[in-house]
Amino acid sequence: MLRQRVLTALLLAPFVILLILLLPTSLFAWLLAGAFLAASWEWTRLAGMKNRTHRGVAMGIVTALFVVLWLLRTSAWLWPALMIAGIAWWLLVCVWLRHFAFGAAPTRENRNLKLLAGVFVIFPAWVAALSIHGSAPHGHVWTFLAMLLVWAADTGAYFAGRFFGNRKLAPQISPGKTWAGVYGAFVTSTLVLTIGGWLLGVRDARLIGLIIVTVVTVASSIVGDLLESLMKRQANVKDSGALFPGHGGLLDRLDSVFAALPVFAFGKLLLGF
């Protein structure tokens, strides 16, 4: 499984990096919307929506909301407010994870609650990504750095957990995650941020601020990963899909990203980058 995961990552990573670095924000926005739309399709399945026609209608609504948010992108308050709402949502998720049995029953009310939760997962992450990508200067590079932080955290967590992981992080939700993995995620992502910030010319006290933002961002990414694990456990499935060999579905690859982007984007705004 590790070999398959590595091969898939090696094939996909250069393509994703080139798209982030080379595409103008106007094209990047809709490519990202397409990826997030596919992840939303998987989310509806985990939420308990089984009728494909109803899921198709839901995708139409999601697409319309992407269009509306793009048309209102010049609003001075809408996108920042949506990012704040996203951050608040992930704080609320921490409470949900603590009471992990909440929403487990396959009722209509729980399904609708999870569908509503998807709104706060998908859209704040989308506007956050575009806020970073469209910023000047070096918005494309900042976007790549944000993604690299999540990838580095995921890699550090995997290997630290594999070699040093004894104490479980949340065994009732995701038995494979350990506290050693959390520490490994913090170490690798902080190292990546320090190097990336230095290359971007951040060599004053703001680098400390960026490191703090990175720690909070990675903590959020772990919460995002745990939420999807909880959703899969309650839906009684192993993966959200089977799009990527060894990696599962698109939602399996984006769960951490959804939680990390609003935090990183808002932190970047606060620091004045």
Q: What is the pLDDT of residues 46-101, one digit of tens each?
A: 999 989 999 999 999 999 999 999 999 988 899 999 999 999 999 999 999 999 99
How do residues 167-199 score in pLDDT, each as one tens digit?
A: 999 999 998 899 999 999 999 999 999 999 999
Of residues 75, 68, 113, the one with CA closest to residue 231: 113
Cβ contacts of 73 within 8 Å, gap of 6 or more = 79, 130
This prediction's pTM: 0.93
Q: What average pLDDT does the chain have?
A: 91
- pLDDT, position 163: 87
pLDDT at 14: 86
Query: Could you give the CA distance from residue 36 to residue 39 in angstroms, rounded to a whole number?
Result: 5
- With beta carbons less than 8 A apart as the criterion, state whether 218 and 154 touch: no
pLDDT of residue 4: 64
β-strand partners of 244: 248
Per-residue pLDDT tens digits for 2-56:
566 666 667 778 888 999 999 999 999 999 999 999 999 999 999 999 899 999 9
In three-state secondary structure terms, 74 is coil
Tokens of residue 222, six digits: 């772990």
Q: List helix spans (H) across the chain.
A: 2-22, 25-47, 52-71, 78-98, 108-133, 139-164, 179-199, 206-235, 250-271
Which residue, 235, 257, 220, is CA-closest to 92? 220
Contacts 24+ apart (CB under 8 A), 63-68: 63/33, 63/37, 65/119, 65/123, 66/33, 66/36, 66/37, 66/123, 66/126
> Tens of pLDDT along 195-225?
999 999 888 888 999 999 999 999 999 999 9
Q: Are 250 and 42 in contact (CB under 8 A)?
A: yes
* 202 Cβ contact list (under 8 Å, min separation 6): 210, 273
